[in-house]
Amino acid sequence: MRARSFAIAGAILGLYGLLELLRQTGIISAYWAQIMDLSLIITISAVGLSLIYGFTGQFSLGHAAFYGVGAYTAGFVSKTLGAGAPGFVLALVAGAVAAGLVALLIGLPILRLRSDYLGIATLGFGVIIRVLLDNSHKLSPTLGGAKGMMGVPQLASFVWIFWLAVGAIWLAANLIRSSYGRACISIREDEVAADLMGVNTTALKTLAFVVGGALAGLAGALYAHRYPFLHPSTFDYLKSLDVLLVVVLGGLGSLTGTVVTAIGWVFLLEWLRAVLPSEYMDLRGVVYALVLIVLMIARPQGLLGGSSAKGGKRRATA
Amino acid sequence: MVQFIEQVINGLQLGFVYALIALGYTMVYGIIRLINFAHGDVFMIGAFVGYFGFAVWGLPWPVAILVSMAVCAVVGMAIERLAYRPLRAKGAPNIATLITAIGVSLFIEYFTSLKFVFGPNYRVVARPFAVQVFHLGPVSISSVQILVITVVLVLVAGLQYIVYRTKVGKAMRAVSHDRDAARLMGIDVDRVISYTFAIGSALAAAAGVLFALAYPQISPFMGIMPGLKAFTAAVLGGIGSIPGALLGAVLMGQAETLTAAYITTDFRDAIAFGILILVLLLRPAGLLGKAGPEKV
Amino acid sequence: MKRIAAGILAFAMFAVAGCGGAQLGTSSGTGGQSVKIGFIAPLTGDAKTYGESAKKGFDLALEQAGNKAGNFTVAVTSGDDRNDPTEGVNLATKMISQDKVSAIVGAVTSSVTIPVSEVANSSKIVMITGTATAAKVTVDDKGARKPYAFRAPFIDPFQGQVAAKFAVENLKVKTAAILYDKGNDYSIGLTEEFQKTFAAKGGTVVASLSYGKDDTDFSAIVTNVAAKKPDMIYLPDYYGKVSLIAAAIKAKGLNVPLVGADGWDSNDLDFAALAGGYFTNHYSADDPSPAVQKFVKEYEAKYKAKPDAFAALAYDATNMLLEAIKQAGSTDSEKIRTALQGLKEFPAVGGKLSFDANGNPIKAAAILQVQANKSYKFITSVQP
């Protein structure tokens, strides 16, 4: 066990060194470096949703709202404090904490709801956040409202993004392996039975929701410091579907699947841009939808699901 | 006061269109416990077919509504047959079906916005009749509003007849009450579900045509918001309940119009979804729904 | 064990993806007598129609120039931003770091052009947009100029001023109502400026009401507007929303002049509902100037359709950039920037153009009137 941990840590350190070297020498161009950073940011957010939905079974259609709360909060803090490492760190913390708090406030009441109703409630929550962001200039002109927010210092370098992504995955992996994580999985498998076995389902569902929301907030905070313009449209319902698709494709209850799919997904979209002639770009949306439908019908447990979870046979409730 | 009455009429027009969409949601949910996300897109297809009917093929508008209803009934049955039934046969969890429904919704939106289908642009709908404004004393009411309200009342009466006076309706009620028992009684459950989709989709199609007449502009993405709001209406009234859907839709129409008129338009959508979350939390069975034995 | 294997697979994939991508980009360069230009526009998504028009204008300008800018052959790399700010940044980064473009034409909407201009400016690459009208495209958050960002259209505030001036001086109205989209920076910018100028000229804004981008039911706010009995209604939004609002105004039986902005310019406008309305625009197809006539004629010959303002402005932006490259006689971004800033009275479709200190064009606005037979009538032109 111990040797394995060291091996993994060594491999990650080596990977980081290699990538940083390739980036510094320009073998990985600024463009692919940007895409790499984006894929890691999406990974952090997807790991958050994986905790909420993949492991605890709480269906959420409003994940982009937490991402947006994190991005705007961090952007606001960073802009107010000015460029500099302390401000940046504080902004990241603020982004994650704000998203976690919002998750706590919204999660406490709505996590009582059953699966599909919960989905609708989180969808509604996402729309509400979007409307609030559109009107955010009334709270503070810095937030920009529908005109968007610019001027956030671009401080999120690869070293931050990479190690925070590693940290997020490490946190999630440990959480899942802990007794809390086991209890979360039992909620997903059968909430009534878990309750009867003495699992405090409300507390654990809320825990997963808050941690997952905070991770999305952290991802948003990084986004705000890597992309120079924040606009409410970046955080709407369709963006929630993107992350959901990643988690579902990766397989519910598979952290590895989520990480691989999140990275692969971002690179795949960029690769499609390079190979698809522009007159076929329209088909991207159609293909995207078809993949989702066919996958759900053929393998409801997800593309890579079943490798590290026993989530294949789930109780039919309908 | 005059202005208030006019605003209430505006709200009725909107609410009645929502009602037709909400009926489809509520019937489908009642029978297979599925939030049919693609329902708003069937509504959109209905609007386009109706538009082609009276603007391109030159049909009289009542005929265009009927054609659109027929087309969408087939579309609705096809969606159920191709996307939802395979999952039901496998006993897949609710969420898998819900995600599939989201996929179907996205598919319809992106597919119809391809150039050789409907195309991505907004289309302006030229109304097949001139709008007249009638004055009842100081209150003005337009011919479109009268038309919308009348057609919806006729269709709802028709639905009431089907559900309570025909064999199909009786079977639908039986399946929605207890699917297994209904099957044991010799009811072909799959066929009843198929009929339910057909009827719900036909109503959504009619709503689409009326929507296009009342708010004369259509596009492949027009179904999303009315769909979500009609769903909210169905939940508000008590999902699974037909009178509930009507009541919920009328209330939603009024809430939206009156907030826009007297409070603010800035938070219009936020208010609609705020209502949704509150209803889900405080009275998940809705205003007229029966609280089931299901754990919520 | 399986988990480790999968993890290593993930990392390997990641590294290969990064490096594989890197190799794709090493073949380009600015050697010899060619210059590389990037073109960014929404070719899919909700702003697709604008992107397509802009691309037609861009293509036509290049074709007329024989794909040449002075002695340089122009190589184009174009991309779709889906009207998504994230995609816009990725694309601009790609074009600059990988395709090594000397300049970028685009993007089309303000919410994508603002981040693109940030990327271009920090990499010191010239960017000129045909259509993005928000003030912050060429100045940063604190109002300082981004020296490498330019645009061809006049900015939002100017159109609002012109409309207010026209309303008071030509239409002789005393009161106005405004309906605008609170989620659209373009609509908000015009509204603010119209309000200010209209009040300064002695008019009263009796109602200023907002709606959201997904709204289709305007009966409630139109009923409210009708109760205020304004002399005119200002509708600063794109043709889609404006058509719906105009239909609601008509259904209400409200008969006052409607005034709007360049967003009205579209073949898909509801001409029946808006007939008689006025709007400010960048150019008029009826303008007898040779630049306009040449453009309109060749555009119609090539695309079998009348050019809209998006096409005209992208055409202007492209031509100005080509001229600047020619004058600079270099593919060096710094020299192109100096030449572009120094252009004087460039004969464009939108009038004789020069740039002010903020990279915005100094030019007149045309006032057009909507006709029921699907055309526009040129009324007057208003100088800045």
The CATH number linked to C317 is 3.40.50.2300
How long a stretch of residues is chain C? Answer: 384
Spell out a b/e string for B28-64, using b for 16 or more CB atoms within 10 Å of the CB, else e.
bbbbbbbbbbbbbbbbbbbbbbbbbbbbeeebebeeb
Q: Do C222 and C301 belong together in one domain?
A: no
Q: How would you write chain A as a 3-class SS string?
A: CHHHHHHHHHHHHHHHHHHHHHHHCCCCCHHHHHHHHHHHHHHHHHHHHHHHHHHCCCCCCCHHHHHHHHHHHHHHHHHHHCCCHHHHHHHHHHHHHHHHHHHHHHHHHHCCCCHHHHHHHHHHHHHHHHHHHHCHHHCCHHHCHHHCEECCCCCCCHHHHHHHHHHHHHHHHHHHHCHHHHHHHHHHHCHHHHHHCCCCHHHHHHHHHHHHHHHHHHHHHHHHCCCCEECHHHHCHHHHHHHHHHHHHHCCCCHHHHHHHHHHHHHHHHHHHHHCCHHHCCHHHHHHHHHHHHHHHHCCCCCCCCCCCCCCCCCCCC
**pLDDT higher than 60, residue A314:** no
Q: Tokens for C139?
A: 């100045």
CB nearest to B92's CB, from A125, A131, A300:
A300
User: CA nearest B119 in A: which residue?
Assistant: A282
Q: Which position has the token pair 């694309």? A: C91
Using CA atoms, how far apart are residues C84 and A273, in angstroms rounded to an integer?
14
Kindly indicate the confidence band of residue A145, based on its pLDDT and cuts at 50, 70 and 90.
confident
Q: Tokens for C356?
A: 């002010």
What phi and psi values does residue A226 have, to the nearest 5 degrees? -120, -25
CB nearest to A314's CB, from B93, B232, B295:
B93
* Percent over 70 (pLDDT), chain C: 91
The pLDDT tens digits of the residues spanning C105-126 come to 988 988 899 999 999 999 999 9
**Domain closes at, from C247, C281, C315:** C281
Using the Cβ of B33 and the Cβ atoms of chain A, whether some distance falls under 8 Å is answered with yes
CB nearest to C220's CB, from B144, B225, B260:
B260
Using the Cβ of B124 and the Cβ atoms of chain C, whether some distance falls under 8 Å is answered with yes
User: Do C133 and C153 contact (CB within 8 A), yes or no?
Assistant: yes
Taking the CA of residue B34 and the nearest CA in chain C, the distance in Å comes to: 25
Q: Do C70 and C135 belong together in one domain?
A: yes
The pLDDT tens digits of the residues spanning B2-60 come to 888 988 998 999 999 999 999 999 999 888 888 898 999 999 999 999 999 998 999 99
- What residue spans define the domains of chain A? 2-298
Q: What angle do CA A212, A213, A214 make, to 5 degrees?
A: 90
Q: Do residue A234 and residue C85 have CB atoms under 8 angstroms apart?
A: yes
CB nearest to A150's CB, from C43, C141, C188:
C141
Q: How would you write B234-259 as a 3-class SS string?
A: HHHHCCCCHHHHHHHHHHHHHHHHHH
**pLDDT higher than 90, residue C47:** no
User: Do C135 and C155 contact (CB within 8 A), yes or no?
Assistant: yes
Chain B residues close to A128, C-beta within 8 Å: 269-270, 273-274
Q: Do residue C11 and residue A15 have CB atoms under 8 angstroms apart?
A: yes
Q: Do residue B32 and residue A241 have CB atoms under 8 angstroms apart?
A: no
**pLDDT higher than 50, residue C228:** yes
Kindly indicate the confidence band of residue A71, based on its pLDDT and cuts at 50, 70 and 90.
very high
CB nearest to A318's CB, from B94, B102, B109:
B94
Chain B residues close to C212, C-beta within 8 Å: 265, 268-269
Using the Cβ of C286 and the Cβ atoms of chain A, whether some distance falls under 8 Å is answered with no
Please report the residues numbered 143 through 172 in chain C whose beta carbons come closer than 8 angstroms to any beta carbon of chain B.
Answer: none
Q: Tokens for C173?
A: 């109205």
Q: Do residue B261 and residue C221 have CB atoms under 8 angstroms apart?
A: yes
Preceding omega of C314 cis (within 30 degrees of 0): no
Q: What angle do CA A178, A182, A184 make, to 5 degrees?
A: 110
The pLDDT tens digits of the residues spanning A263-277 come to 998 998 888 777 777
Taking the mean position of all CA atoms in its chain, how far away is CA C221? Answer: 28
Q: Do C77 and C145 belong together in one domain?
A: yes
Q: Do residue B273 and residue A124 have CB atoms under 8 angstroms apart?
A: yes
What pLDDT score was predicted for residue C19? 47
Chain B residues close to C46, C-beta within 8 Å: 221
Q: Do C161 and C310 belong together in one domain?
A: no
**pLDDT higher than 70, residue B236:** yes
Amino acid at C63: E
Q: Do C96 and C167 belong together in one domain?
A: no
Amino acid at B277: I
How many residue pairs bridge chain A and chain C with CB atoms within 8 Å of each other?
146
Taking the mean position of all CA atoms in its chain, how far away is CA A154? Answer: 21
Q: Do C221 and C246 belong together in one domain?
A: yes
Q: Do residue B276 and residue A124 have CB atoms under 8 angstroms apart?
A: yes
Using the Cβ of A310 and the Cβ atoms of chain C, whether some distance falls under 8 Å is answered with no
**Domain closes at, from C281, C315, C334:** C281
Any chains having at least 3 CB pairs less than 8 A from chain B are: A, C
Give CATH for domain A2-298: 1.10.3470
Q: Do residue A229 and residue C114 have CB atoms under 8 angstroms apart?
A: yes
More confident residue, C232 or C308: C232
Task: For residues C296-322, give the mean pLDDT.
Answer: 91
Taking the CA of residue B133 and the nearest CA in chain C, the distance in Å comes to: 7
Secondary structure element (H or E) that encloses residue C73, with its range:
strand C72-80
CB nearest to C182's CB, from A32, A39, A146:
A146
Amino acid at C242: V
What pLDDT score was predicted for residue A279? 67
Lowest mean per-residue pLDDT among B117-126, C16-25, C133-142, C193-202 = C16-25
Closest of B250, B219, B208, B220 to residue B232, by C-alpha = B250
Q: Do residue A233 and residue C18 have CB atoms under 8 angstroms apart?
A: no
How long a stretch of residues is chain B? Answer: 296
User: CA nearest A19 in C: which residue?
Assistant: C15
Note the maximum CA span of chain A.
Answer: 59
Domain assignment present for C369: no
Q: Do C131 and C199 belong together in one domain?
A: no
What phi and psi values does residue C109 have, to the nearest 5 degrees? -90, 155
User: CA nearest C239 in B: which residue?
Assistant: B122
What pLDDT score was predicted for residue B91? 81
Q: Is B148 exposed, middle or buried (0-12, 13-18, 19+ CB in 10 A)?
A: buried
Q: How would you write chain B as a 3-class SS string?
A: CHHHHHHHHHHHHHHHHHHHHHHHHHHHHHHHCCCCCCHHHHHHHHHHHHHHHHHHCCCCHHHHHHHHHHHHHHHHHHHHHHHHHHHHHHCCCHHHHHHHHHHHHHHHHHHHCCCCCCCCCCEECCCCCCCCEEEECCEEEEHHHHHHHHHHHHHHHHHHHHHHHCHHHHHHHHHHHCHHHHHHCCCCHHHHHHHHHHHHHHHHHHHHHHHHHHCCEECCCCCHHHHHHHHHHHHHHCCCCHHHHHHHHHHHHHHHHHHHHHHCCCCHHHHHHHHHHHHHHHCCCCCCCCCCCCCC
What pLDDT score was predicted for residue A18? 93
CB nearest to B274's CB, from A112, A128, A248:
A128
* Percent over 90 (pLDDT), chain C: 43
For an interface test with B, give the residue of C219, C224, C270 to mutate (most B CBs within 10 A). Answer: C219
Using CA atoms, how far apart are residues A181 and A188, in angstroms rounded to an integer?
11
The pLDDT tens digits of the residues spanning B112-138 come to 988 788 887 778 888 888 888 888 888
Residues spanned by the domain of C334:
34-153+288-362
Using CA atoms, how far apart are residues B100 and B79, in angstroms rounded to an integer?
11
For an interface test with A, give the residue of C141, C146, C211, C237 to mutate (most A CBs within 10 A). Answer: C141
Please report the residues numbered 234 through 293 in chain B whose beta carbons come closer than 8 angstroms to any beta carbon of chain A.
Answer: 235, 266-267, 269-270, 273-274, 276-277, 280-281, 284
**pLDDT higher than 60, residue C73:** yes
Q: Do C41 and C144 belong together in one domain?
A: yes
How far, CA to CA in Å, does B40 sit from each of B37, B103, B196, B224, C297?
7, 13, 16, 6, 43
What pLDDT score was predicted for residue A248? 86
Q: What letter does residue C145 receive in the DSSP assignment?
A: B
* Percent over 90 (pLDDT), chain B: 48
Task: For residues C184-189, give the mean pLDDT.
Answer: 83
Euclidean distance between the first and the last CA atom of chain A, given in angstroms as a whole number? 42
Q: Do residue B222 and residue C211 have CB atoms under 8 angstroms apart?
A: no
DSSP secondary structure string, C181-242? Answer: ETT-HHHHHHHHHHHHHHHHTT-EEEEEEEE-TT----HHHHHHHHHH--SEEEE-S-HHHH
Taking the CA of residue B294 and the nearest CA in chain A, the distance in Å comes to: 9
DSSP secondary structure string, C246-311? Answer: HHHHHHTT----EEE-GGG-STTS-HHHHTT-EEEES--TT---HHHHHHHHHHHHHHSS---HHH
Contacts of residue C255, defined as CB under 8 A and 6 or more positions apart, other chains included, come to none
Q: Do C87 and C201 belong together in one domain?
A: no
Please report the residues numbered 84 through 123 in chain A whose beta carbons come closer than 8 angstroms to any beta carbon of chain C.
Answer: none
Domain assignment present for C248: yes
Using CA atoms, how far apart are residues C79 and C56, in angstroms rounded to an integer?
14
Mean pLDDT of chain A: 87
Domain assignment present for C59: yes
Spell out a b/e string for A264-290, using b for 16 or more CB atoms within 10 Å of the CB, else e.
bbbbebbbebeeeeeeebbbbbbebbb
Chain C residues close to A274, C-beta within 8 Å: 24
Q: What angle do CA A263, A287, A265 make, to 5 degrees?
A: 0
Using CA atoms, how far apart are residues C91 and C85, in angstroms rounded to an integer?
10
**pLDDT higher than 50, residue A313:** no
How long a stretch of residues is chain A? Answer: 318
Q: Do residue C221 and residue B144 have CB atoms under 8 angstroms apart?
A: no
Q: Do residue B93 and residue A117 have CB atoms under 8 angstroms apart?
A: no
Chain A residues close to C18, C-beta within 8 Å: 19, 22, 28, 32-33, 36
Kindly indicate the confidence band of residue A311, based on its pLDDT and cuts at 50, 70 and 90.
very low
Q: Do C137 and C246 belong together in one domain?
A: no
Total domains, chain C: 2
